[in-house]
């Protein structure tokens, strides 16, 4: 590399190299052939790419230093338009540390953290700091603290990555105008956290089986605005999505299924629309935390959401229920006041309370209501089984959960194919 000039290609054959690699030649391409391995030699960062237009591809990089204060990483980059492609970064504190610049590409890498460490001794798979216009595509990230951490990182496109077995799959902090699409996040504490970040697009992601603790969630949104989420599959988490001070956002045609709680929402926020989403088989569909959810609007232009426990009817056959659907009731109010009541979620007492409320609806003076519930699930629900089957191999318990979802979806779709009842004009939901 010392003899190379700008734009040259340096090919490294297979073998093991214990050293600190630093690239300072603009445009240099460092290409591994035959699986070369670079091992950390005691430096904070193992490989450093410190010039514009540099590329690293085809290497296995093993280990980092232990200095988390300086983001000890397998690969540290600083410059513009740097590419990291088709590498294996193993035993990483931080996998890739992006320090500033713009126009980087992080493509097709495998990043695996150091096993056996507590979260506070781990780094992030990809840490983006003070950067913009980065493309992150086709990476597999596991066993680190957070899969991808966005810190003052704007206009980042994150597509088709697999992120699993860690704390937070994605973590946005003070990062705006970002796109997160087609990614798979599973078996983590939280699928994704968005805090103090605006103008984020979340499309066609699969967020599955995040159940490490009883507060584990598919998505957590805190003090954000202008979030657009569509066609995401959020299945098998303790909490599907948490909303806290979210504004001017829209959730369209997402599937929330087999979560303990579909939506957990705090008071505050405003102009958050949920429309044409499918809520199927969640133990609690909507859980208010500290009072009525005034900031969430459950229908738009006469179309609400599909709820598998809706008992209403559709006399005019326009696909929208003729009576509103109450999303939360007596037991949800009890959970809000006494969180430990959740331990009795599946008890006969909870079922009895729900039945009693239907006869004596005296607990909620301001119920949470979908005024225009849909009679049929959207297409995203119908393809959810095939989607998750291709995505990951869940634990046996999760497999049973998905089997239950499959049976429920089959029954729902089957019910749609039946005659519509008396004179073809009337049909009523049954449990």
- What's the CA gap between 92 and 99, in Å, rounded? 17
CA 382, 384, 387, 390 dihedral sign is negative
- 8 Å CB contact between 59 and 37: yes
Record the tokens describing residue 296, joined without a space: 């969430």
pLDDT at 409 (0 to 100) = 56
What does each of the 431 residues of the chain score in pLDDT, given as a tens digit?
A: 878 999 999 999 999 999 999 999 999 999 999 999 999 999 999 999 999 999 999 999 999 999 999 999 999 999 999 999 999 999 999 999 999 999 999 999 999 999 999 999 999 999 999 999 999 999 999 999 999 999 999 999 999 999 999 999 999 999 999 999 999 999 999 999 999 999 999 999 999 999 988 889 999 999 999 999 999 999 999 999 999 999 999 999 999 999 999 999 987 899 999 999 999 999 889 988 877 788 999 999 999 999 999 999 999 999 999 999 988 655 555 555 555 555 555 566 555 655 555 555 555 445 689 999 999 998 666 565 555 545 555 555 555 555 555 555 555 544 443 333 323 322 333 33
Record the tokens describing residue 371, joined without a space: 């005024």
pLDDT at 2 (0 to 100) = 78
- What's the CA gap between 314 and 330, in Å, rounded? 26
Place of tokens 């990291």: 84
Which domains does the chain carry?
A: 1-166 (2.160.20.10), 193-328+364-431 (no CATH)
- What's the CA gap between 326 and 361, in Å, rounded? 11
pLDDT at 354 (0 to 100) = 57
Place of tokens 């913009």: 132
pLDDT at 50 (0 to 100) = 98
- What's the CA gap between 358 and 148, in Å, rounded? 46
pLDDT at 431 (0 to 100) = 36
Tell me whether strands 184-186 and 206-208 are parallel, antiparallel or unpaired. parallel
């Amino acid at each position: 590399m010392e003899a190379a000039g700008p734009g040259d290609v340096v090919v490294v054959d297979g073998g093991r190299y214990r050293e600190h690699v630093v690239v300072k030649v603009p445009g240099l391409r460092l290409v591994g052939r035959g699986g070369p391995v670079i091992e950390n030699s005691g430096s904070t960062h193992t490989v450093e790419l410190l010039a514009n237009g540099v590329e690293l591809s085809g290497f296995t990089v093993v280990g980092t230093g232990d200095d988390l204060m300086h983001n000890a990483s397998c690969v540290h980059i600083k410059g513009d338009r740097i590419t990291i492609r088709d590498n294996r970064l193993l035993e990483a504190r931080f996998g890739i540390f992006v320090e500033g610049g713009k126009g980087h590409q992080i493509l097709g890498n495998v990043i695996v953290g150091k096993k056996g460490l507590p979260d506070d001794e781990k780094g992030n798979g990809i840490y983006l700091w003070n950067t913009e216009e980065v493309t992150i595509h086709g990476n597999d990230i596991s066993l680190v603290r957070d899969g991808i951490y966005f810190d003052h990182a704007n206009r980042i496109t994150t597509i088709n990555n697999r992120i699993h077995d860690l704390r937070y799959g994605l973590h946005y902090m003070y990062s705006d105008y970002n796109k997160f699409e087609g990614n798979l996040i599973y078996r983590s504490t939280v699928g994704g956290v968005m805090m103090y970040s605006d103008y984020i697009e979340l499309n066609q992601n699969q967020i599955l089986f995040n159940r490490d603790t009883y507060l584990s969630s598919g998505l957590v949104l805190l003090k954000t605005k202008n979030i657009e989420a569509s066609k995401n599959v959020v299945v098998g988490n303790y909490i599907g999505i948490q909303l806290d001070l979210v504004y001017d956002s829209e959730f369209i045609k997402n599937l929330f299924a087999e979560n303990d709680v579909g939506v957990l929402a705090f008071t505050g926020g405003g102009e958050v629309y949920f429309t044409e989403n499918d809520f199927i088989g969640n133990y609690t569909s909507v859980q208010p935390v500290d009072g009525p959810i005034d900031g969430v609007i459950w229908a738009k232009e006469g179309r609400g959401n599909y709820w598998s426990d809706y008992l209403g009817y559709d006399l005019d056959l326009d696909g929208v229920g003729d009576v509103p659907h109450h999303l939360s009731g007596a037991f949800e109010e009890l959970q809000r006041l006494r969180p430990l009541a959740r331990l009795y979620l599946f008890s006969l007492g909870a079922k009895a309370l729900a039945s009693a409320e239907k006869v004596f609806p005296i607990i909620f003076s301001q119920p949470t209501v979908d005024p225009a519930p849909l009679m049929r699930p959207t297409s995203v629900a119908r393809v959810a089984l095939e989607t998750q089957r291709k995505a990951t191999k869940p634990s046996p318990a999760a497999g049973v959960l998905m089997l239950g979802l499959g049976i429920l979806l089959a029954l729902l779709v089957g019910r749609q194919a039946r005659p519509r009842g008396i004179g073809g004009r009337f049909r009523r939901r049954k449990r």
